[in-house]
Amino acid sequence: MIGVLAAASLLRHRARTALAVAGVAVSAAMVLDMVMLSTGMRESFRSLLERGGFQVRVGPRGAMPFDGEATVGGGAGLLDTLRAIRGITMVAPVLGATLHAPQPGGAVAAFALGVIAGSQGDYVLQEGHEAVADGEVVLNDPMLAAVRRRVGDTLTLATGYDPQLRTFSGGRTLRIAGRVRFRYLAADQRGAALPLATLQAMGGDARRDRLSLVMLRVDPAADVEAIRAGIDAALPRVSALSTATALQQAEQRLSYFRQLAFILGSISLVVGFLLVTTIVTVSVHERVGEIAVMRAIGVSRRHVVQQVVLEGLVLSLAGSAGGLALGLVTARWLDSILATFPGLPESVDFFLFQSIPALAALGMLVLTGLAAGAIPAWRAATLPVAATLRREAVA
């Protein structure tokens, strides 16, 4: 009977109920999106870092972890040292550079990686084969489009370009062996990868035997942290960073986002709370006479409270259900906008749906709805019965 009365009260003003549910849905969507935002960036960085299956990255000491410009010399010796360490199962050296392709009217620049095919975690092959032999290169789609080449064609690439004089240095004609997609590049960023030795040779003295980064895969049974610390202690020119530490560092930077998301999410919760309180208060207010009659004929305070709280609960439940759908749609939409943000790896998702935090957030909203109904419910239950009946009879 309480359910019937609560439902009837909500159905009495269908339009108002629908608007309230829509309002709660918007605030629920906002709460959900904020939760998805705060988990999304962290999780996609994690999967990005872990995807290649490398647990330690070794770079020039003193450089920022993801600085592409800094390099370390004596690459061959460094690699030998690293390979000799127990517990390291794969050593993947990387040299980063900018390459320029002469084109009519100027040059097309691409971010280039010198790697050893077969032991790299930077790209995924999509067509052809990897650049294994000296003189081979693989390009991603934006680069292929920019230089109007296909797999199998040749392309001249230079390590130096003077835009004033339009002169190239360190140029070499390479054969395009395959088409690839880079994990850490934005969707429209041009990229190339070639054998490490080829890139080192193209750079002349500036790049001879130099490396930007060495990625290490560690035996699952081995202690990653011990290996990292050992490298740090033994090799003064480099510093080693574990994926876990990198994640921590990334998380520190992302904590600003999380704080922002937390504040905005809380504001949305408050908005949802006020909305439900307002609607339920109005609904109680317009039927104080009925409530007083119910109390007069013997309906308990508890049942009056339950009825009113149920009303708020239904509003917030329906709103949360709507908000779940709305939140997922807006998250996808916002993600697609943010994906075009320049310089961001293509595979970074800003919004990630994880059922536990998402449902916890919506659960919070439902609890908020319960609390929102409690205030008008108490007001309804404690109406002075005789005085209210009298007022209503006069009205």
Partner 1 sequence: MSGGLSGGASGAAAAGEVVLSARDVHRDYQLAGETVHAVRGISLEVRAGDWVALVGPSGCGKSTLLNLLGAIDRPTSGTIAVRGRDIAALRDRDATAFRLRHVGFVFQRFYLMPQLSALENIELPMAEAGVARAERRARARELLAYVGLDARERHRPAELSGGEQQRAAIARALANRPAFLLADEPTGELDAATGAGIIALFARLNAAGTTIVVVTHDGDLARAARRVIHLRDGHVVNEVHA
Ligand X SMILES: Nc1ncnc2c1ncn2[C@@H]1O[C@H](COP(=O)(O)OP(=O)(O)OP(=O)(O)O)[C@@H](O)[C@H]1O
Residues that bind ligand X (CB under 6 A): 387, 390
Q: Does residue 340 interact with partner 1 by CB under 8 A?
A: no
Q: Which of 70, 187, 197, 293 contacts partner 1 by CB under 8 A?
A: 293
- Rg over alpha carbons for the chain, rounded to the nearest Å, is 31
DSSP tag of 118: T
Return the residues of window 364-383 that contact partner 1 according to CB under 8 A. none
Q: Does residue 393 interact with partner 1 by CB under 8 A?
A: yes
Q: Which of 96, 298, 323, 372 contacts partner 1 by CB under 8 A?
A: 298
Task: Rank residues 1 and 15 by Cβ distance to partner 1 and give the closer one.
Answer: 1
Stretch that binds partner 1, among 150-158, 159-167, 293-301, 332-340 (CB under 8 A): 293-301
Q: How many residues are there in the chain?
A: 395
**Number of CB atoms found within 10 A of residue 322's CB:** 18
Rounded-to-5 percentages of helix, strand, coil across the chain: 55, 20, 25
DSSP tag of 211: B
Number of residue whose CB is nearest ligand X = 387
Distance CA 80, CA 175 (A): 29
Cite the DSSP H helix spans in 286-384: 288-296, 301-338, 355-381
Inter-residue contact 116 to 134 (CB < 8 Å): no
Q: Does residue 206 interact with partner 1 by CB under 8 A?
A: no
- Minimum distance from CB of 394 to ligand X (Å)? 9
Q: Does residue 288 interact with partner 1 by CB under 8 A?
A: no
Distance CA 187, CA 210 (A): 28
Q: Which of 5, 56, 78, 231 contacts partner 1 by CB under 8 A?
A: 5
Q: Does residue 15 interact with partner 1 by CB under 8 A?
A: no
Any idea which residue has 């092959």 for tokens? 125
Q: Which of 4, 84, 221, 356 contacts partner 1 by CB under 8 A?
A: 4
- Minimum distance from CB of 386 to partner 1 (Å)? 4
Task: Rank residues 229 and 387 by Cβ distance to ligand X and give the closer one.
Answer: 387
Q: Which of 176, 199, 294, 372 contacts partner 1 by CB under 8 A?
A: 294
Task: Rank residues 124 and 386 by Cβ distance to partner 1 and give the closer one.
Answer: 386
- Of the candidates 109, 129, 99, the residue with the CA atom closest to the CA atom of residue 117: 129
Q: Does residue 16 interact with partner 1 by CB under 8 A?
A: no
Distance CA 387, CA 30 (A): 43
Inter-residue contact 281 to 376 (CB < 8 Å): yes
Distance CA 377, CA 300 (A): 12
- Minimum distance from CB of 18 to partner 1 (Å)? 17
- Minimum distance from CB of 262 to ligand X (Å)? 49
Task: Rank residues 293 and 367 by Cβ distance to partner 1 and give the closer one.
Answer: 293
Report the DSSP beta bridge partners of residue 138. 178, 193
Q: Which helix (H) or strand (E) holds 213?
A: strand 213-218
Q: Does residue 9 interact with partner 1 by CB under 8 A?
A: yes
Task: Rank residues 285 and 390 by Cβ distance to ligand X and give the closer one.
Answer: 390
- Minimum distance from CB of 387 to ligand X (Å)? 4
Q: Which helix (H) or strand (E) holds 137?
A: strand 136-140
Q: Does residue 300 interact with partner 1 by CB under 8 A?
A: yes
Distance CA 394, CA 391 (A): 5
Q: By the criterion CB under 8 A, which residues form the site for partner 1? A: 1, 4-5, 8-9, 11-12, 289-290, 293-301, 303, 385-386, 389-390, 392-393
